[in-house]
Chains A and B, each alone.
Chain A
Amino acid sequence: VTRSLPPWLTHPWLTVRVQIGLGAIFVVAAIPKIVDPPSFAHMIYNYRLVPGFAVNALALVMPWVELLTGLALILGVWPREAAALAGLLLLMFLWAIGFNLARGHAVDCGCFDIHSAGKSRPELLNDMRWVLIRDTAMLLMVVQILMASGRGRELKVESSGTRPPRLLPLDS
């Protein structure tokens, strides 16, 4: 698939910027949740999708997953794995928001601000639609990183087949 893509789409110049951008979003989203886990647990509870016993554990762990994923993307450490993890998180967020939107259950996203803004139901439902669009855009960023790293691997394999033999010293 990656061979048929235009080269600029998987160019390292773009990939580095996408990684840093996506990583920064994840770090910014994680910090308020780490600072105040009970408020984030409240947000998760409001989604009505997580069993009661798991609400607190998810509220404690998920922000750290976001933070480490974001830092790994920014620093370029295991970017493929970090992007895959970011993709899994985004798919989970999309499902949670989409499912509640489909059943008409209005919730505060809790994505960046973990305190209820006191919005009306129509305002919340409208916000949820925007969150779906935003998370889909972020998912496209994940796809770009994965494709770029996939293409990098292909090039690596190809180049390893055509690499010229190493020049050895004459006296060996």
Chain B
Amino acid sequence: MSRLRNRTRILILILAAVSCAAVSNLAASRERRMAWVGDYSRALEIVSASSAATSIPVSIPTAAPAAPAAPENASATPAAAASAAGVPAGVPAEVARVAPAPAAAAKTFAPHPDRASVEITTDDAEALFHQGRLFLDARRTSVYTDGHVPGARSFPVWESDIADRVKAFFEEGLDQNAPIVIYCSGGDCEDSHMLAEKLYMVGFNNLLVYKDGFPGWQKRGLPAVKGPKP
């Protein structure tokens, strides 16, 4: 009898916790809310960040850099001029002029439809930045707001609306073979690989994971901006 009472009380505590969690999740802001059922295909695999994707980028020497991808606000006046000059839209011209494009600018990154992503170095990421390629930031919104690559768009994989963001991104009709650079916090951070897999599943074939992430970007002294906007 006593044992039954003990178990009933433990069950009541657990059910109360489930109820509190449900109410809390319903009342949470977009950044804090989560779907109850997770969608993490590699949750039981131990993969080092370097083995999650091919570490050597597919690169072919070429004479001229590829045309910049079309960011969402590329038609504006200074941004359009900057974009034509190989600078991502939304990046102030003075920011984009801080460093010349390195030797890696001579590389072009071919689509790789057989795998979700390939990893790239800081040199590659810098070159792609100067080519005006699209950057996606897979970190949490709050971290993105604290600082991100100029022009990078926020795609926080751990927040509840990531599926909607991926769907909206797909519906923009961007070239699915154009290089897209994805980054997170470097080191063991797998958020960029997770985002790459989500985008690969909807058809993007040229996803480049910048493995050193934003810490590597900052360490190199490359430009960064703060705030919620790209």
Residue on A with the closest CB to B13?
Answer: A68
> Which residues 23-55 of B have a CB within 8 angstroms of A?
24-25, 28, 31-46
* Known contacts A65-B13, A78-B9; A56/B21 CB under 8 A: no
- Residues on A with beta carbons closer than 8 Å to the beta carbon of B20: 64, 67-68
Residue on A with the closest CB to B141?
Answer: A38
Taking a contact as CB atoms under 8 Å apart, the answer to whether A81 and B6 are in contact is yes
Stretch at the interface among A4-12, A17-25, A46-54: A46-54
Taking a contact as CB atoms under 8 Å apart, the answer to whether B140 and A39 are in contact is yes
Interface size of B by CB at 8 A reads: 41
Interface size of A by CB at 8 A reads: 41
State which of A37, A81, A118 has its C-beta within 8 Å of the C-beta of B10: A81
- Residues on B with beta carbons closer than 8 Å to the beta carbon of A46: 188
What is the total of A-B residue contacts with beta carbons within 8 Å?
Answer: 107
* Known contacts A53-B38, A56-B34, A80-B6; A48/B16 CB under 8 A: no
Give Cα distance in the complex from A97 to B16, angstroms: 27
Residue on A with the closest CB to B191?
Answer: A42
Give Cα distance in the complex from A81 to B2, angstroms: 11
- Residues on A with beta carbons closer than 8 Å to the beta carbon of B9: 78, 81
Q: Is B17 an interface residue (CB 8 A)?
A: yes
Q: Which secondary structure dominates where chain A touches chain B?
A: helix
Give Cα distance in the complex from A56 to B38, angstroms: 5
State which of B28, B44, B187 has its C-beta within 8 Å of the C-beta of A37: B28
Give Cα distance in the complex from A32 to B40, angstroms: 23
Chain A, residues 84-125, CB within 8 Å of chain B (1/0): the string is: 110000000000000000010100000000001010000000
* Known contacts A38-B31, A38-B140; A60/B43 CB under 8 A: no
- Residues on B with beta carbons closer than 8 Å to the beta carbon of A65: 13-14, 17
Taking a contact as CB atoms under 8 Å apart, the answer to whether A54 and B21 are in contact is no
Taking a contact as CB atoms under 8 Å apart, the answer to whether A84 and B16 are in contact is no
Closest approach, in angstroms, between the C-beta of B201 and any C-beta of chain A?
Answer: 14
Taking a contact as CB atoms under 8 Å apart, the answer to whether A85 and B185 are in contact is no
Give Cα distance in the complex from A66 to B21, angstroms: 12
Taking a contact as CB atoms under 8 Å apart, the answer to whether A49 and B34 are in contact is no
Residue on B with the closest CB to A30?
Answer: B17
* Known contacts A52-B43, A57-B37, A64-B20; A41/B158 CB under 8 A: yes
Q: Is A61 an interface residue (CB 8 A)?
A: yes
Give Cα distance in the complex from A59 to B42, angstroms: 17
Q: Is A82 an interface residue (CB 8 A)?
A: yes
Taking a contact as CB atoms under 8 Å apart, the answer to whether B140 and A85 are in contact is no
Residue on A with the closest CB to B158?
Answer: A38
Taking a contact as CB atoms under 8 Å apart, the answer to whether A64 and B38 are in contact is no
Closest approach, in angstroms, between the C-beta of A84 and any C-beta of chain B?
Answer: 6
State which of B14, B39, B215 has its C-beta within 8 Å of the C-beta of A52: B39
Q: Which interface residue of A55, A67, A68, A81 has the most chain B CB atoms within 10 A? A: A81
- Residues on A with beta carbons closer than 8 Å to the beta carbon of B32: 35-38
Q: Is B123 an interface residue (CB 8 A)?
A: no
- Residues on B with beta carbons closer than 8 Å to the beta carbon of A131: none
Taking a contact as CB atoms under 8 Å apart, the answer to whether B10 and A85 are in contact is yes
- With contacts A46-B188, A51-B44, A118-B215 known, what are 9 further pairs, Cβ within 8 A? A37-B28, A38-B34, A52-B40, A60-B34, A64-B18, A64-B21, A64-B24, A72-B13, A103-B46
